[in-house]
Amino acid sequence: METLLDGRLKILQGDITECSTDAVVNAANGSLRGGGGVDGAIHRKGGPDILRECMDIRQHRYPEGLPQGKAVITSAGKLPSKYVIHTVSPVWKDGSKNEKEILSMAYKNSLRIATETGLNSIAFPSISTGVCGFPRDIAASVVYKTIKNYLQKKSLPREVYLVFYSEDDLNVFLSSIKSFL
Ligand code: ADP
């Protein structure tokens, strides 16, 4: 595990559904009904309580769907974490559609919910770099800068984990942020 930002940012390979951080982040879609990839894995392992809460949020707060870059919190069902923070992954088009800004907002809004809920630890998957097609090196610089900037201002969450499913994704991330360290 790589540790950066005075020990507050931890970067590792793993399965986010096994993380016992206070919250894990879901790379959801606007429907909040679950889907493929990490979204499917979280709902499958977490069980039906998460989906029920998501549908309640849809009905009462976001009848049109959760917009890209926004985030909401539910319990974590049978997962080892306490909460799931669902954020909507921006879809990469050509880089000129505010993709970077929206990806940054997805991380920032998830972190903000963690702060407001008083959470010590949060784990993120590599949002948008799967089916949403975000180039991994561009995502890496956005993610690192966003987290660094946020943690400089806030004492909670104390620890942020970036959990990469594949070793290759982990290595691309680490080599992409080298010039910022
Ligand atoms: P997106 O729509 O945000 O691109 P994906 O789920 O397709 O969402 O991919 C996001 C990232 O999550 C990918 O790097 C994928 O390999 C990774 N991923 C898939 N399953 C898991 C898991 N169980 N734990 C951590 N990361 C995962």
The answer on pLDDT for 87 being more than 90 is: yes
Ligand 1 centroid, distance to 126 Cα (angstroms): 6
Burial class (CB in 10 A: 0-12, 13-18, 19+), 122: buried
Q: In this predicted structure, what is the pLDDT of residue 137?
A: 98
15 lines ligand 1 (CB under 6 A): yes
Catalogue the active-site residues: 39
Q: Whose CA is nearest to atom 1 of ligand 1?
A: 128
157 lines ligand 1 (CB under 6 A): no
Ligand 1 centroid, distance to 51 Cα (angstroms): 18
Ligand 1 centroid, distance to 180 Cα (angstroms): 24
Q: Whose CA is nearest to atom 23 of ligand 1?
A: 15
pLDDT tens figures, 24-83: 999 999 999 999 999 999 999 999 999 999 999 999 999 999 999 999 999 999 999 999
Average pLDDT, the chain: 98
Structure letter (DSSP) for residue 64? T
Q: Element (H or E) spanning 141, and its range? A: helix 136-153
pLDDT tens figures, 46-57: 999 999 999 999
> Taking residues 76-101, what's their average pLDDT?
97
> Taking residues 111-138, what's their average pLDDT?
98
Largest interatomic CA distance in the chain: 44
> Taking residues 85-109, what's their average pLDDT?
97
Q: In this predicted structure, what is the pLDDT of residue 167?
A: 98
Q: Whose CA is nearest to atom 3 of ligand 1?
A: 128
Q: Is 154 left (phi over 0), alpha (psi -120 to 50) or beta?
A: beta
Residue entry with tokens 């880089």: 95
Sign of CA pseudo-dihedral 8, 91, 178, 16: positive
Q: In this predicted structure, what is the pLDDT of residue 181?
A: 87
